[in-house]
Structure 1
Amino acid sequence: MTAEPSARTTAPRRAYAERLHIPWFAWPAGLGVTALLAAEVWMGSSGLRAWVPFAVLLPVALLLLWRADRIRVVVTDTELHVDDARLPLSVIADVIALDADGKREVLGVGSHPLAFVVQRPWIKGGVQVVLDDPADPTPFWVVSSRRPVELATALLRAKN
């Protein structure tokens, strides 16, 4: 019996993966504020106003919290994935790990308006990925990361 080459392609190897979780206290705080808002709409009434605010607002709050908690940052052999955005490693010119002050400076008043930013305020660090792509007007990406040095190192290793 001979082994035939598989028709499926192999998935790219992950050099780095991180999920940008929201803080644990955002879940009870978000649901508490939503329940308070629903109670304000209800205000002791009967009929639809008694249950519709809770039936609508609480699932919407859960959906928004889940959506804020699902951002992933992944470095593969060929690309940087940030949520649904993909950046080929071949267009990366430089990678800079940022602490809280560096991230604030890069995203501050002098920031470039065409920069691609995935910033989470509850995450202090980040990475600036400088691009060298004449076909793309985006000068750089800024991505929040709890481990910016590891992310920058993984990008530079995967690029080379």
Structure 2
Amino acid sequence: MQLSATPYEERLTAPRSWWLISLLVGLSFALILLPFGTLPLLGGLVGGTAAAAVVASSYGSVRIRVVGGSLVAGEAKVPVTALGEVEVLDPQEARAWRTHKADTRAFMLLRAYVPTAVRVEVTDPVDPTPYLYLSTREPQRLAEAIRTAREAAAA
């Protein structure tokens, strides 16, 4: 039995301040090209702002979804039947699991500007990945969605 509606979907968008930084990058390019005239100045402003905005947008376009019996986090797609316990991490625990507690074999969808996360155990014996570390702004909702999908897949 699969759930018909998507129980969870989140996009880890970049903070608003990054868009201001994109504009400042464009201004920097414009100032660098100022000695070459007005046209290069405008090209630097437009080109630098656009390039920085593309980088901010692509970094902030990653999504986490629980849909169709799978957990989709960025480029990873894991069936919920291969997942074990879900641990909700507060900001201090999330920082610990990103640093000194981290396992190099783990899949980490990490965004430093998102303070909370979940750690999901991988129970598939063929998969060498011990756990998934997923930055999320709504760790309780994500954990509940994974548990619900896992129970539905087991039924």
Indicate whether the TM-score tops 0.5: yes
* 1:153 paired residue among 144, 147, 154: 144
- 2 CA distance for matches of 1:65 and 1:107? 22
Q: Name the structure 1 match of 2:123.
A: 132
SS of corresponding position for 2:133: strand
Aligned AA (2:75): D
TM-score by length of 2: 0.86
- 2 CA distance for matches of 1:118 and 1:71? 9
Aligned AA (2:16): W
- 1 CA distance for matches of 2:121 and 2:108? 12
Q: Which shows bigger deviation, 69-78 or 144-153? A: 69-78
* 1:28 paired residue among 14, 17, 20: 20
CA-to-aligned-CA distance 1:69-128 (integer Å, 9 cap, x gap)? 211111114100112321110110111111101101111123100111111111111110
Structure showing the higher helix proportion among its residues: 2
Give matches, 1:31-46, under 5 Å.
31-32=23-24, 34-46=25-37
Q: Which shows bigger deviation, 96-105 or 15-24? A: 15-24
- 2 CA distance for matches of 1:12 and 1:54? 47
Aligned length: 149
- 1 CA distance for matches of 2:143 and 2:98? 18
- 1 CA distance for matches of 2:35 and 2:89? 51
| Unaligned segments of structure 1, at least 5 residues | 1-10
TM-score by length of 1: 0.83
| Unaligned segments of structure 2, at least 5 residues | none
- 2 CA distance for matches of 1:13 and 1:79? 13
- 1 CA distance for matches of 2:143 and 2:14? 22
| RMSD, aligned α-carbons | 1.9
* 2:11 paired residue among 1, 19, 31: 19
Q: Name the structure 2 match of 1:91.
A: 82
Shift of 1:52: 4.2
Work out which of the two has the higher radius of gyration on C-alpha atoms and give 1 or 2.
1
- 2 CA distance for matches of 1:42 and 1:20? 34
Q: Name the structure 1 match of 2:91.
A: 100
* Closer, same or farther: CA 21–50 of 1 in aligned 2, 3 Å: closer
